[in-house]
Amino acid sequence: MTHLHFDHCGGSVQWNADKTGYEVAFKNAKYWSNENHWEWATKPNVREKASFLSENILPMQESGQLNFIKRPAGDFLSTSELGFGIFFADGHTEKQMLPHIQYQDKTIVFCADLLATAGHIPIPYVMGYDTRPLLTMPEKEKFMNAAADQNYYLFLEHDAHNEIITVERTEKGVRLKDRFSCNEILT
């Protein structure tokens, strides 16, 4: 999971049979996070307390299905235990993870909340939910420059109109280049 806010992990749990508590929804799944983010989520600050719901998080650990990705000293892990790269960002929430997945000749990046929608491409346009917006901006600038230079395909889970986009450098900074449906990229 990119991070443990309710809108990113809530579907991982369900009511148990007698509706007295929660259990994991996918009995054979392995749930992945990182230790820094897990600590942040299970001992939330006042700003994020309403986003880190223990009923969404703790069943993963209680089931024994929670695993932690070994995080590097820097912000990019070129190859994780899962076989793909991960960019770690701290502006939205502590150690949010953006998976970089190789598919054929493309790098598809699941942008999570570092880039929620195509409307958030300009560096100062950050989410109101970010815990550290002034940190989000340099993280986003580094990521967006890499996305333009390396022609990443950016998957936008929160964008109602754009599934996947590419970006390019312009005189005004990194801007939208192309839009794609998932079907266009995966076929």
17-36: b or e for each residue (b if 16 or more CB lie within 10 Å)?
Answer: eeeeebebeeeeeebbbbee
What pLDDT, on a 0 to 100 scale, did the predictor assign at position 71? Answer: 86
* Mean pLDDT confidence for 120-133: 96
* Mean pLDDT confidence for 133-150: 98
pLDDT of 187 > 90? The answer is no
Structure tokens at 90: 């701290």
d(CA 73, CA 84): 17
**Which CA distances in Å does 72 have to 69, 75, 101, 112?**
9, 7, 18, 20
Beta strand pairing call for 173-180 and 106-110: unpaired
What pLDDT, on a 0 to 100 scale, did the predictor assign at position 135? Answer: 97
pLDDT of 186 > 90? The answer is no
* Mean pLDDT confidence for 92-115: 97
Quick: pLDDT tens for 25-75: 999 999 999 999 999 999 999 999 999 999 999 999 999 999 999 888 888
What pLDDT, on a 0 to 100 scale, did the predictor assign at position 54? Answer: 95
* Mean pLDDT confidence for 149-175: 98
Share of the chain above pLDDT 90, in %: 93
Q: Which of 159, 152, 69 is nearest to 103 (CA)?
A: 152
User: With bands split at pLDDT 50, 70 and 90, how would you rate the model's confidence at 19?
Assistant: very high
Structure tokens at 115: 């880039």
What pLDDT, on a 0 to 100 scale, did the predictor assign at position 74? Answer: 86
Average pLDDT of every residue of the chain: 96
96-134: b or e for each residue (b if 16 or more CB lie within 10 Å)?
Answer: bbbbbeeeeeebbbbbbbbbbbbebbebeebbeebbbee
pLDDT of 97 > 90? The answer is yes
**Can you list the domains of the chain with their CATH numbers?**
1-68 (no CATH), 72-187 (3.60.15.10)
* Mean pLDDT confidence for 167-182: 98
* Proportion of the chain in helix, strand, coil states, percent, rounded to 5: 25, 25, 45
What pLDDT, on a 0 to 100 scale, did the predictor assign at position 72? Answer: 84
Higher pLDDT among residues 142 and 187, named by residue: 142
